[in-house]
Structure 1
Amino acid sequence: MNNNLKKIVWMMIGIVFLAVMTACSGEDDNQTSGSGDGSTTDGANEQVLNLSKKDRITTMDSSMATDELSFQFLGATMEGLYRLGENAKPVEGIAKDHEESEDGMVWTFHLREDAKWSNGDPVTAEDFVYAWQRTVDPNTGSEYGPYMMKGVIKNAEEVSKGEKAVDELGVTAKDDHTLVVELAKPVPYFESLMTFGTFLPLNKSFVEEQGDDYAQSTDNLVFNGPFKLKDWESTSDSWEMVKNEDYWDADTVEIEKMNYTVVKDPQTAVDLYDTGELDRVQLNSDLVDNYSTNEDYTTRSKPVVYYLKLNQTRNEALANTNIRAAISRAFDKQALADELLNDGSIPANWLIPNDFAPLPEGTEHEGEEIRDVNGELVEYDIEKAQEYWKKGLEELGKDSIELEFLGGDGENAKTMQEYLVNQLETNLEGLTIDLKQVPGKQKLELDSKMDYDIQLSAWGPDYMDPYSFLSLMETDGEYNKMGYSNKKYDQLLKEAQNELATPGKAAERYNNFIKAEKILFEDAAIAPLYQEYVSLLASPKLKGVITNPIGPTYEYKWASVGEE
Structure 2
Amino acid sequence: MRKLGKFAAMAASATMLGSIIIPATSASASSTGKTIHWSEGAALPTMDPAKSTATVSGNAIGATSLPLVQFGQENKIENEAAKSYEKSDDGLTYTFHLRHDLEWENGDDLTAKDFVYGWQRSITPKTAAEYAYLLEVVKNGEAIEKGDKDPSELGIEAVDDYTLQVTLESPASYFIQELPMEVFFPQNQKFVEKKGDKFGTSAANYLSAGPYKLKGWTGSNNRYAYVKNDKYYDADKVKTKKITVRTIKDQNTGYNLYQGKKLDFTTLSPDQVQASKHKQGYTKIKTGSVESLQMNQEKVPEFKNTKIRQAVSYAIDRKALSNKIVTGSATPATTYTPKNLVNNPNNNKDFASDAELDGAIKYDKTKAKKLFKAGMKEADKSKLSVQLLTDDDDTSKRVAQFLQEQLEKNLDGMDVTIKTVPMKQRLKLSMDGNFELLNFGWLADYADPSSFLDLFKSDASYNYGKWHNTEYDALLESAEVQNANNKKAQYNDFKKAEQVLEKEVGTAPLYYRSTSALMNPKIKGIIANPTGAPFNFKYVVKR
* TM-score, normalised relative to structure 2: 0.77
The structure-2 alpha-carbon separation of the partners of 1:404 and 1:509, relative to structure 1 and needing over 3 Å to count, comes to same
C-alpha displacement at 1:541, in angstroms? 1.3
Q: Deviations over 1:56-78 (max 9, x none)?
A: 54333323433333221211111
Q: Deviations over 1:168-224 (max 9, x none)?
A: 232211122221223344444221221111111123345456667655665655433
Q: How does 1:353-364 map to 2 (within 5 A)?
A: 353-356=338-341, 358-359=342-343, 363-364=345-346
Separation of aligned partners in 2, 1:203 and 1:391? 55
Matched, 1:260 2:240: no
In structure 1, the residue matched to 2:524 is: 543
Q: How does 1:248-327 map to 2 (within 5 A)?
A: 248-309=233-294, 319=305
The structure-2 alpha-carbon separation of the partners of 1:327 and 1:437, relative to structure 1 and needing over 3 Å to count, comes to closer
**C-alpha RMSD over aligned residues:** 4.2
The structure-2 alpha-carbon separation of the partners of 1:148 and 1:482, relative to structure 1 and needing over 3 Å to count, comes to closer
Separation of aligned partners in 2, 1:443 and 1:197? 17
1:172 aligned to 148, 153, 157, which one?
Answer: 157
The structure-2 alpha-carbon separation of the partners of 1:436 and 1:274, relative to structure 1 and needing over 3 Å to count, comes to closer
Matched, 1:468 2:451: yes
The structure-2 alpha-carbon separation of the partners of 1:409 and 1:243, relative to structure 1 and needing over 3 Å to count, comes to closer
Q: How does 1:368-383 map to 2 (within 5 A)?
A: 369-374=350-355, 377-378=358-359
C-alpha displacement at 1:555, in angstroms? 0.5
In structure 2, the residue matched to 1:497 is: 480
The structure-2 alpha-carbon separation of the partners of 1:378 and 1:177, relative to structure 1 and needing over 3 Å to count, comes to farther
Counterpart code for 2:325: L
Contact 1:407 1:413 in 2 (8 A): no
C-alpha displacement at 1:105, in angstroms? 3.4
2:404 aligned to 418, 433, 436, which one?
Answer: 418
Q: How does 1:159-238 map to 2 (within 5 A)?
A: 159-160=144-145, 163-208=148-193, 215=200, 218=203, 221-238=206-223
Contact 1:48 1:561 in 2 (8 A): yes
* TM-score, normalised relative to structure 1: 0.74
Separation of aligned partners in 2, 1:335 and 1:205? 53
Separation of aligned partners in 2, 1:138 and 1:153? 16
Matched, 1:124 2:111: yes
1:51 aligned to 38, 41, 54, which one?
Answer: 38
Separation of aligned partners in 2, 1:237 and 1:393? 47
C-alpha displacement at 1:467, in angstroms? 0.8
Q: Deviations over 1:86-113 (max 9, x none)?
A: 5654321212333334544333222233
Counterpart code for 1:95: A
C-alpha displacement at 1:348, in angstroms? 0.7
Separation of aligned partners in 1, 2:230 and 2:332? 46
The structure-2 alpha-carbon separation of the partners of 1:445 and 1:67, relative to structure 1 and needing over 3 Å to count, comes to closer
In structure 2, the residue matched to 1:334 is: 319
Separation of aligned partners in 1, 2:332 and 2:293? 13
Matched, 1:510 2:511: no
| 1:406 partner SS | strand
Contact 2:408 2:416 in 1 (8 A): no
Separation of aligned partners in 2, 1:317 and 1:137? 33
Contact 1:543 1:559 in 2 (8 A): yes
Contact 2:2 2:444 in 1 (8 A): no
Separation of aligned partners in 2, 1:477 and 1:396? 28
In structure 1, the residue matched to 2:28 is: none
Counterpart code for 2:330: S
Between the two structures, name the one with larger relative contact order (CA 8 Å, sep ≥ 6): 2
In structure 2, the residue matched to 1:78 is: 65
Matched, 1:554 2:539: no
Contact 2:376 2:382 in 1 (8 A): no
Q: Deviations over 1:273-330 (max 9, x none)?
A: 1123322211234544443443433332333323345789977897566x76666445
Contact 1:2 1:147 in 2 (8 A): no
